[in-house]
Chains A and B, each alone.
Chain A
Amino acid sequence: MQYLSYAGLGLLIIIVQVLVSRFLSIAGVSPDFLLIFLVWLTMREGQFAGETGGFVLGLILDILSSSILGANALSKTAACFCIGYFFDRERIDQNIRNWPFLVLTLLAAIINNFLYYFLITRGSEISFGEFAFRYGAVGALYTVFIAIFPLLYWSRKRTY
């Protein structure tokens, strides 16, 4: 039942990402809401749940956002797999409600974006380094900035 609610929440976030990203786009760079959710899921449920969620939800995002089929699925699976090494069953709440969440979101965004841009620039004349830095690095920072808001909300919940 709990996994069904994660799936429902993930789908809702994908819909928000596809539909609302144009309102939040700055010079073509949008935050990755789905990645924030996947980092949260991985820190809460572990590596296996994270990478499975990354693959399934990444694939749905690929289909709905007209991206290269499989690119988001692969990059999000890999990002969640790496983040999964930092999963600590004893410190789930502390990690999610404190700065480790932001650090892991940044790490996940960097892995996700660089892998994603590597996949989409392969075989073209586009310089991977320039494209990945311009959109990947800036996009990663924008995603971390947005991740501050749920972090503040969860920290506040702990106080009261």
Chain B
Amino acid sequence: MRRFLDFFIAFKEYVALTAFVAVSLTMIAVSRTTDVMPLRAFATGLVGAIQSTYAWIPNPIALARENRDLESQSIELAAEVGRLRRAEAENRELRRLLGIAPHPDWKLVAAEVVGKTTTFQRNMLTIDLGSKDSIVPGMAVITDAGLVGRIYATSQNFSLVQMLLNTDLRIASKIARTRVEGIITWEGGPSLSMRNIPKALDVQLGDLVVSSEYSSFFPAEVPIGTVDSIAPEANSLFRRVMVRPSVNFFRVEHVYVIQKDITKERERLALEGRVNEGKAQKR
């Protein structure tokens, strides 16, 4: 025992380093599992409560920019509203004539951003809605400009939103004009990357990118961004499409949560489908 203690004291730096590295690597291995969710929820509540106390402090530079952006956006939107009203009327009439069901309405709940956690690769927002407001992980979060991200963890009063600028997120998306499908990811930098786009398909600069019906987390047709650059990938049939996000993630202050957990609904539907398939096979 004495020898062991002497050894530990003599080499305590190395013994401690070995122990710390082992514990850290174990935690990294379990970090993405659901076992750590209660800890995440606790941290979300704690950080959110502190952040909400100073969320009222304005950032003058950001406010000035936001005002400028909003002014130009409102001019563009005024023109677009007129066009969309006409298109909506036409669309409703055509759907009625063809017998297609109308698009479902989303229930939006407004939330205020009380904190931002920018850890370079896993950017998060904290909003002032939590489980007591019926917010659950997986719900989509949007602004008037487009998709922000999805709910990652909740505490009673606060929720953590995983932004699109997050290396863990993959989103099924499509080009609105040509319906070309791809996967949106973030690899650092100001733009998103749209992958799996064959070179032969029609994608042009300025094309609007929206969420796809194949997305497990997000409702379809929510704007994600516009095509910023297109480059061929070396030794590949695909090309690299960079997408400038519609939302300015560093200035976002108010968001809306789509209060409908489409993930669960789709999982339930898939399960029902499998059960029915099984029944049919038994017959």
Contact = CB atoms under 8 A, between A and B. Distances in A.
B27 interface: yes
A28 B250 CA distance: 8
A89 interface: no
Given A18-B117, A22-B116, A51-B16, A126 B28 contact: no
A74 B47 contact: no
A88 to B, nearest CB: 15
Interface stretch (B66-74, B103-111, B128-136, B185-193): B185-193
A64 B47 contact: yes
Interface string A115-157: 0010111001111001100110001000000000000000000
B28 A69 contact: yes
A77 interface: yes
Interface string A57-89: 001001111111111011001100100100000
8 contacts: A48-B12, A51-B17, A55-B23, A67-B122, A70-B25, A77-B21, A117-B120, A134-B188
Given A28-B120, A30-B118, A135-B188, A18 B27 contact: no
Contacts of B271: none
Interface string B145-163: 0000000110000001000
Nearest to B26: A70
A74 B16 CA distance: 12
Nearest to A71: B28
B16 A52 contact: yes
Interface string B61-100: 0000000000000000000000000000000000000000
Contact of B21 (A29, A30, A74): A74
Contacts of A73: 20, 23-24, 27
A109 B250 CA distance: 24
B167 A15 contact: no
Contact of A126 (B31, B119, B124, B188): B188
B149 to A, nearest CB: 12
B187 A70 contact: no
A23 interface: yes
Contact of A121 (B16, B47, B167): B167
B38 to A, nearest CB: 12
Contacts of A65: 117, 119
Given A48-B13, A59-B24, A70-B23, 17 more contacts: A15-B50, A27-B190, A28-B123, A28-B165, A55-B20, A63-B39, A65-B117, A66-B44, A67-B122, A69-B31, A69-B39, A70-B25, A70-B26, A73-B24, A117-B120, A120-B122, A125-B185
Contacts of B21: 74, 77-78
* Centre residue among A66, A67, A71, A117 by max chain B CB count within 10 A: A66
